[in-house]
Structure 1
Amino acid sequence: MQRFADLLDRLVLTPSRNGKLRLLADYFRTVPDPDRGYALTALTGGLDFPAVKPAMLRTLISERMDEVLFACSYDYVGDLAETISLVWPASPDSETPPPALSEIVETLTRLGRAEASTVIAGLLDRLDPSARFALIKLATGGLRIGVSARLAKQALAAFGDRDVGEIEELWHGLEPPYEALFAWLEGRAGKPVSAAKALFRPVMLAHPVGEGDLEKLDPGDYAAEWKWDGIRVQAAGEDGVKRLYSRTGDDISGAFPDLLAEFDAEMTLDGELLVGNPGLKTGTFSDLQQRLNRKTVSKKMLAEYPVFLRCYDLLQIGDDDLRTLPFAERRAILQSELPALSEHRFDLSPMVGFSGWEELEEKRRNPPHPVIEGVMLKRRDSAYVPGRPKGPWFKWKRDPFTVDAVLMYAQRGHGKRSSYYSDYTFGVWRGPDDAPELVPVGKAYFGFTDEELKLIDKYVRDNTVERFGPVRSVRAEPGHGLVLEIAFEGLNRSTRHKSGVAMRFPRISRLRWDKPAAEADRLETLIALLAD
C-alpha cells in the first residue's frame, strides 16, 4: 500500500505528462503482482466500493475531532481525503506494517455497510498520512490526480515496449488484476487471447489546422465533412453482442440502450453521438448532457432525449478489418451498408463540397446548422490509423466566441491546486442600467498561467464577502470587480441555469485587470448568440 501511496503523492506533484508516464512505468516495473494490477484498476476507474461513502468518513472524523475545527481545516485544505488523512489521530496500530494494496482491495470488495465504519477506521489507524490519503481516494473512487485511463494505458505500452493500440484492443477482454497482461508485457508469456466480443478499436484522431498548414496541402487530396458537436463514439456488434464505446475506450452501453436496441449488425461504426432524429432534428450538446454519465435511463429521459449516431467511418464488417483501406473506399462501403440500419438511429455524415480553401473557410464560418462546430479534412487515400498521425486528418473548428464577465464565486481546486482558489464562477449583467445585477453564466478552471493563478487567488482572498464551505463569494458590483475574458465554443438554452444559457467549453482567455466591472457584457449579448 505504501508504494501506491507514494505513487499518488508523486503523481499529484508532477505536472508534466511525460513525468507522469515515467512514474507509472517505473511503478509497473518494480511492484509485483497483484498489487500493480489493482493499482492499474484504480487508475483506470475499474474499482467500486459501494459500502464506503464520504458521509461515513465525515462521521468517523467527527467522532475524533471537534467539528468546527475540522470544518475550518477542510475549508483551508479544500479536499476531504487530504484533510482527513492529515488530521486523523495517531494510533498504536500505526506502528504495525501497513497492509498490501491487494489486501486492502480484497477487504473493501467484501465489505458490507454494517461493518464499513469499523473496518475503515481500523485501516486508517494502521496507515500514515500519505497512505490514508491513498486509501480514501481508492475507497471513494475519486483519485483526481491528473491521470486518465488512456495515460495509464500509454504507460503500460511504454513499460512493455508495445503500441498502445494493442493494449486498447485487448482491454475489454481482460480482468483485474491483469496478471496475463503484465506477463505478456514482460515477455514471460504470449499475447493474451480475448474471448470477449465486440471489442473496441482505437480511434483515429485529427490535428487542429495550424497557421500555414493549408498552404502545404492540395485541396484535391482531401474530402471535407462537418464536425458535429456531440461526442465521438464507436458502435460495435459481433455475434449478437453490442457495445457502445467512448473515444477513450470506455464502455458506455448502459447509458444508451435505445441506440443499441436498434443496432442489429456485425460491424464497427465510428461516428458522433447526437440527440434527436436524423433528418428531423439534431439537438445541442446540452441536450446530450442529459444522457451522459448515467447508469440507468428512465423512460421519460429516453422519450425526451432520444439519441442517434451520425456515422463517419466503417472500421470492420463481419470478419473483414477495413482500417487499412483508403478513406474514400471505406466511405463508399459505409454508404452502401447504412440503409440496412434503422433510419431513426443511424445516418451518414454529409460531405462538404469545395473547390479551394477559401470556399471551405467561408462554409466553416457559416455552417448550415448551429450544432456544427467546424469541418474535418480527411485525405481520400488515408488508412484508419490509431492515434493522431500528422497529415491524414485535420480539424478546422470555428473561431471561439468571447465575452467579458465578472468573477462572482471561487472554489478551491484539487491536487496541487488544493491550496488555491482556482475554480471560478462568472456572470454578466442584466436588468436596468441604473440597477444592474450579475447572473452566473458559467464556470472555468483553466486558461491561466501559474503566476496568474496566484494573482487571482490573492484577489479572491482580499475581496471575499461571504463563505459557503470551500466556496467564497467575491465582491462583484459595477464599481468593483475582476473582469475575465471568457472564450467558449457555443451557447445553448438551459432551464437549469438562472441565466437561461449554458456555455460549451468555457475557459479564461485573458484577465482584464484594466476593465471596469460595469463595462462587462450583458446577458442580452449572450441571448443574441443563441441558436433558435
Structure 2
Amino acid sequence: MREFAALLDRLVLTPQRNGKIRLLVDYFRQTPDPDRGLALAAITRDLDIANVKPAMLRALVAERMDEQLFAYSYDYVGDLAETISLVWSAREPSRANAIPTLGDVVASLARASRSDAIKLVEKWLDQLDASARYALLKLVTGGLRIGVSARLAKQALADFGSVDVSEIEELWHGLKPPYQSLFAWLEGKAEKPASLAAAPFRPVMLSTPLEEPDYTKIVAEDYAAEWKWDGIRVQLTAETGQRRIYSRTGDDISHAFPDIADAMNFAGTLDGELLVARSTDESVEIGAFGDLQQRLNRKAVSARQMESHPAFVRLYDLLIDGDEDIRTLSFAERRQRLERFAAALDPSRFDLSPLVAYTTFEDLAALRRDPPHPVIEGLMLKRWDSTYVPGRPKGPWFKWKRDPFTIDAVLVYAQRGHGKRSSFYSDYTFAVWTGPEDDPHLVPVGKAYFGFTDEELKQLDAYVRNNTTERFGPVRSVRAEPAHGLVLEVAFEGLNRSKRHKSGVAMRFPRIARLRWDKPPIEADRLETLEALLRDSDATD
C-alpha cells in the first residue's frame, strides 16, 4: 500500500501530462504483479470493491471521534477519504511488518462479507500512516480523482512497452485485472495476448482545431465538409454475435442505449454521433444535448426513458465492412461504402451525416456563423484522401467550431472543490438579473469550475471568503447586490430549455472566460438575453 499511496500522492501533485505518464511508467517497472495491475485497474476504474460503502466509513469514524468535530473537519477539507485519513486515531502503534500490500487488500476484501470487510478496513487504518490511509479509502470507495484518464493510463502502458497505444486499446476489453499477460508481453517475456473481446473497440481518429494558418488549405477539391453535431461520438461494433456501443475513449456504454443495440442488425464497425432524435416520415427531429444527458451515465434505462428520449446515431464513417477492415482506404472510398451500408439500416435509429456543399472558404465561414440547426456546433473538414488513423494526426481532419456565446453574470454561490482544490472555493454558481428594472433580483443560470488560472483561483477564493453572507456546509452564499458583487464573463456552447432550473434555461459547457472586476453587478446581463437566444434556437429548429 505504501508504494500505491506514494504513486497517488505524486500523481495528484504533478499537473503535467507527460510527468504523470513518467510516474506511471516508473511504477509499472518497479512494482511486481499483481500490485501494478491492480493499481492500473483502480486508476482506470475497472476495479470494483462493492462491499465497502461511504456510509460504513462514516459510521466507523464516528466511533473514534465526536461527530460534530468530524463534520467541522469534513467541511474544511471537503473530501471524505482525505478527512478520515487525517483525523483517524489509531488504537495501536503502526508496525512495518503489518502493512498490507495492495494485492493483500484486494484479495482479502474479495473474500470478505460486508461486515467483515469494514472490520478489515478498520484494522488497516490502524496500521497505515495518513498517506496510505488516504490511498486505501480512495481504493475501496472508487473515488480516485488524480487527473489520470483511462486513455492516459493506456498511453503510459504503451510507453512502458514501447508499443503504439492503439495496440493497447484494441486489446483492452478482452483483458481482466491484474493484467499479468499484458505486462508479460510489454516486458518481452511472452507473446502478445490474443484479443478475447467480442466486438472489440477500434481506436478512433480525432480532429484538430482549424486555425488561421491552415485556412488556405481548405479547398473543396481536397476537403469534404460535414456538420459537427452536439452529441457524443460513439463507435458501433457488431461482430461474432455481439453488439457493443463504445464512447470515443473506449468505454462500453451499450447498457444505457439498448434501443440502439437492438437495431444494430449488421456486421461491421461504424463511427458516428449519438443524439436524441425522433424520426418522422419527412425528417429527423434532433433534440438538444440536454435531452441526451437524460440517457447518459445510467446503469439501466427504463422503457419510459427510451420512449421520451429515443436514441439516434448520425453516421460519419465505416471502419469494418462485414469482415473487411477498410480503415486503410481513403475517406472518399469509405464514404461510398458507408452510403451503401447505411441504406440497409433502420432509418428510425440511423442516418447518414450529410456532406455540406461549398465552393470557397468564405462559403464555409458563412455556414459556420449561421448553421441551419441549433444542435450544430460547427463544421468538420476531412481530406478526401485521408485514411482512418487512430489518434489525432495534424492535417487530415479539422474541426471548426462556432465561437462560444458569452454573457456577464454575477457570482452568487461558491462551493469547495475536490482533491488538490479541496482547500479552495472553486465551483461557482452565477446568476443574471430578472424582474422590474427598478427592483431586479438575481436568478441562477449555471455553474462553472474551470476557465480561470491558478492565480485567479486564489483571487476568487479570497473574494468568496471576504464576501460570504451565509454558509451551508461546503457551500457559501456570496454577497451579490446591484452595487456590490463580482461579475463573471461566462462562455458557453449552447442553451437548452430546462424544467429543473428556476430560470428555465440550462447552459452547455459553461466556463469562466474573464473576471470582470471592473464591471458593476447591475450591468450584468438579464434573463431576457438568454431567453432571446432560446427563441432564436427554437426558430431554427
TM-score, normalisation: structure 1: 0.98
| 2:47/2:177 contact within 8 Å kept | no
| 1:310/1:349 contact within 8 Å kept | yes
Q: Report the RMSD for the aligned CA atoms in angstroms.
A: 1.1
Instruction: Tell me the equivalent position of 1:325.
Output: 329
Instruction: Tell me the equivalent position of 2:378.
Output: 374
Alignment of 1:432-447 (within 5 A): 432-447=436-451
Q: What does the per-residue CA deviation read over 1:19-67, in whole Å, with 9 as the maximum and x for residues that have no partner? A: 1111111111110110000001011111222222211111111111112
User: Which secondary structure state, in structure 1, belongs to the residue aligned with residue 191 of structure 2?
Assistant: coil
Task: Tell me which amino acid in the other structure corresponds to 1:500.
Answer: G
User: Which secondary structure state, in structure 1, belongs to the residue aligned with residue 221 of structure 2?
Assistant: helix
Q: 1:448 pairs with 449, 452, 459, which one?
A: 452
Q: 1:527 pairs with 528, 531, 534, which one?
A: 531
Shift of 1:93: 5.3
Shift of 1:382: 0.0
Distance 2:240 2:118 in 1: 45
Q: Which portions of structure 1, spanning 4 or more consecutive aligned residues, are displaced by more than 6 angstroms?
A: none
Q: What does the per-residue CA deviation read over 1:388-431, in whole Å, with 9 as the maximum and x for residues that have no partner? A: 00000000001100000111111111222111111111111111
| 1:91/1:126 contact within 8 Å kept | no
Shift of 1:446: 0.8
| 1:485/1:509 contact within 8 Å kept | yes
User: Which secondary structure state, in structure 2, belongs to the residue aligned with residue 492 of structure 1?
Assistant: strand
Answer yes or no: is 1:422 the counterpart of 2:423: no
| 1:108/1:139 contact within 8 Å kept | no
Q: 1:383 pairs with 387, 396, 401, which one?
A: 387
| 1:85/1:129 contact within 8 Å kept | yes
Instruction: Tell me the equivalent position of 1:60.
Output: 60
With 222-231 and 522-531 compared, the bigger mean Cα shift is at 522-531
Alignment of 1:130-529 (within 5 A): 130-278=131-279, 279-529=283-533
Distance 1:258 1:417 in 2: 40
Shift of 1:111: 3.4
Distance 1:330 1:93 in 2: 66
| 1:234/1:247 contact within 8 Å kept | yes
| 2:237/2:270 contact within 8 Å kept | yes
Distance 1:434 1:137 in 2: 51
Instruction: Tell me the equivalent position of 2:8.
Output: 8
Distance 1:107 1:515 in 2: 59
Instruction: Tell me the equivalent position of 1:119.
Output: 120
| 1:231/1:272 contact within 8 Å kept | yes
Instruction: Tell me the equivalent position of 1:108.
Output: 109
Distance 2:356 2:217 in 1: 20
Distance 1:195 1:414 in 2: 37
Structure 1's unaligned 5+ residue stretches are none
| 1:480/1:516 contact within 8 Å kept | yes
Distance 1:340 1:361 in 2: 34
User: Which secondary structure state, in structure 2, belongs to the residue aligned with residue 243 of structure 1?
Assistant: strand
With 70-79 and 18-27 compared, the bigger mean Cα shift is at 70-79
Shift of 1:142: 1.0
| 1:465/1:473 contact within 8 Å kept | yes
User: Which secondary structure state, in structure 1, belongs to the residue aligned with residue 176 of structure 2?
Assistant: coil
Task: Tell me which amino acid in the other structure corresponds to 1:294.
Answer: R
Distance 1:218 1:228 in 2: 22
The count of aligned residue pairs is 532
Distance 1:13 1:91 in 2: 31
Aligned residues with identical type, % of pairs: 69
Distance 1:314 1:109 in 2: 42
Structure 2's unaligned 5+ residue stretches are none
Shift of 1:212: 2.1
Distance 1:43 1:120 in 2: 20
TM-score, normalisation: structure 2: 0.97
| 1:223/1:379 contact within 8 Å kept | yes
Distance 2:54 2:503 in 1: 31
Q: What does the per-residue CA deviation read over 1:444-501, in whole Å, with 9 as the maximum and x for residues that have no partner? A: 1111111111100000000111111111111111121110000000000011111111
With 171-180 and 217-226 compared, the bigger mean Cα shift is at 217-226
User: Which secondary structure state, in structure 1, belongs to the residue aligned with residue 213 of structure 2?
Assistant: coil
